Structure 1
Amino acid sequence: MSCKVKICGLKNREDARTAIEAGADYLGCVFFPPSPRHVEPQNAAEVFDMIGDADVLRVGLFVDPSDDQLMEVLNHVRLDIIQLHGHETPSRVEEVRLNFGLPVMKALPIETAQDVEAARAYDKVADRLLFDAKPPKGATRPGGNAIAFDWNLLTDTSWDSPWMLAGGLNVENVKDAIAQSGCKAVDVSSGVEAEKGVKSPELIEKFIAAVKG
């Protein structure tokens, strides 16, 4: 089975079409205003409309959202997965799953082996896990910082929840990242951008080809 790919931080229909045609398995939109990839719900609906009948999952990224904030987006956008990328506790993850009846993917910041062990509190609680690099001090957002962590920290680890690798991935390093971590899915945002918040169709195509080729 080839590794699955999530293209996150999409802001327009054209980039969504490129990702779908190149073979993406997940499309992600960011609902977090400090991010240069933030979109309003109406724009996200247009992005996800491009999926049509394709076998691609719609992911909405939120950072410590209230139920009202989640509902505001869900009133406009059909999502398949809610991605929580803040400081949400295991109990909050479970609460969101129950309140909204959607699978939840929890992003977890990794820098050390201790961080990997701390992530186990979310195993079997979240439907999926996303291991991302811990943001640098002073960062205004928890992800999309073009920083990688030591992928060997995940080598030979075992998880009940399916997991995805993120953090500083790009065309040049994604094959090594897959080989070292043993991941079955990868998530990229900044690594397929021409400039911050602006996707490169060419890099999207090359990234997916590198993963699936």
Structure 2
Amino acid sequence: MQSTISPRVKICCISSIEEAHLAVNYGASALGLVSAMPSGPGIIEEELITQIADTIPPGVASFLLTSLIDPEAIAEQQRICHVNTVQLVDSLPQGGLQHLRKLLPPGIAIVQVIHVQGQHSIDEALEVAPYVNAILLDSGNPTLPIKELGGTGRVHDWDISRALREAVNVPIFLAGGLNAENVGAAIDEVGPFGLDLCSSVRTNGKLDIQKLERFFSAIHKRQQI
């Protein structure tokens, strides 16, 4: 039987206060703010991240996407940016997640990105799951000379994503090439707690009202079937 519960939607690559308000008005329950990255879209300065985070209403999660892997530096970045969630797009050294948890203030969530590249991604998720609040499945490639840590617009193997979701006991966000045309299938095949998207609701890098409407409409129509 099809679930009647809609996944939460995170709109990433927010670049202004106006975009933040637009995304929330259309139904986003989380916003992604991208700090310095080796590659990918949506990067903004920490000062702007702070300004946007300070305007996000209660009940909407503010995700800081960080490529830092030093727990001390990540904790300082979170303090500066005033976000309530830290999204780690790269892997921390052994013991780094436990150390980061001790450094962050109470109530600050940690979300670890797993770039789904094969069955070994499930083992990676099982290793980090005890130390994070959620896992986000994306389609990057951190093994490249210039690391690809998200924002690719590519769909990965949803069979692996579903197996990973079934293997861990923390919420799963699904990212990677989601759009109005495939989101219903993504929900049915993976069963994620949340959906994460960036480029599919943008035109020339800016949030597109018509694309937002189509995406959220696709989710709502699915629930009415």
TM-score tier after normalising by the smaller chain length: 0.7 to 0.9
1:191 aligns with 2:204: no
Counterparts of 1:159 and 1:59, CA distance in 2 = 21
Following superposition of structure 1 onto structure 2, how do residues 154-165 of structure 1 map, counting pairs within 5 Å? 154-155=161-162, 157-165=166-174
1:105 aligns with 2:111: yes
CA displacement at 1:120 relative to structure 2: 1.1
Cα RMSD, aligned residues only: 2.2
State the AA in 2 paired with 1:202.
Q
CA displacement at 1:132 relative to structure 2: 1.0
1:133 aligns with 2:139: yes
Equivalent residue, structure 1, for 2:57? 52
Equivalent residue, structure 2, for 1:78? 82
1:172 is aligned, of 178, 181, 184, to: 181
Equivalent residue, structure 1, for 2:92? 88
1:13-63 CA-partner distances (Å, limit 9, x unpaired)? 22111110011110110012444311112212332344234x211110001
1:100-149 CA-partner distances (Å, limit 9, x unpaired)? 13221000010222222332111122111111114385555310011111
The answer on whether the counterparts of 2:78 and 2:86 sit within 8 Å (CA) in structure 1 is no
1:147 aligns with 2:154: yes
Counterparts of 1:22 and 1:171, CA distance in 2 = 14
| Number of aligned positions between the proteins | 211
**TM-score, normalised with respect to structure 1:** 0.87
Q: Report which stretch shifted further, 143-152 or 86-95.
A: 86-95
Q: Report which stretch shifted further, 183-192 or 113-122.
A: 113-122
CA displacement at 1:72 relative to structure 2: 5.0
Q: Report which stretch shifted further, 140-149 or 64-73.
A: 64-73
Q: Which runs of 5+ in 2 are unaligned?
A: none
CA displacement at 1:68 relative to structure 2: 5.6
2:30 is aligned, of 22, 26, 34, to: 26
Counterparts of 1:33 and 1:120, CA distance in 2 = 26
1:36 is aligned, of 15, 38, 41, to: 41
The answer on whether the counterparts of 1:166 and 1:186 sit within 8 Å (CA) in structure 2 is yes
Counterparts of 1:139 and 1:192, CA distance in 2 = 26
CA displacement at 1:158 relative to structure 2: 3.2
Quick one: structure 1 residues 50 and 88, their matched pair in 2 at CA, closer, same or farther if it must change by over 3 Å?
Answer: same
Counterparts of 2:18 and 2:220, CA distance in 1 = 21
Q: Which runs of 5+ in 1 are unaligned?
A: none
Counterparts of 1:72 and 1:124, CA distance in 2 = 23
The answer on whether the counterparts of 1:19 and 1:205 sit within 8 Å (CA) in structure 2 is no
Higher relative contact order (CA 8 A, sep 6+): 1
CA displacement at 1:151 relative to structure 2: 0.8
**TM-score, normalised with respect to structure 2:** 0.83
Counterparts of 1:208 and 1:65, CA distance in 2 = 34
CA displacement at 1:161 relative to structure 2: 1.3
Q: Report which stretch shifted further, 81-90 or 68-77.
A: 68-77
Quick one: structure 1 residues 41 and 212, their matched pair in 2 at CA, closer, same or farther if it must change by over 3 Å?
Answer: farther
State the AA in 2 paired with 1:60.
L
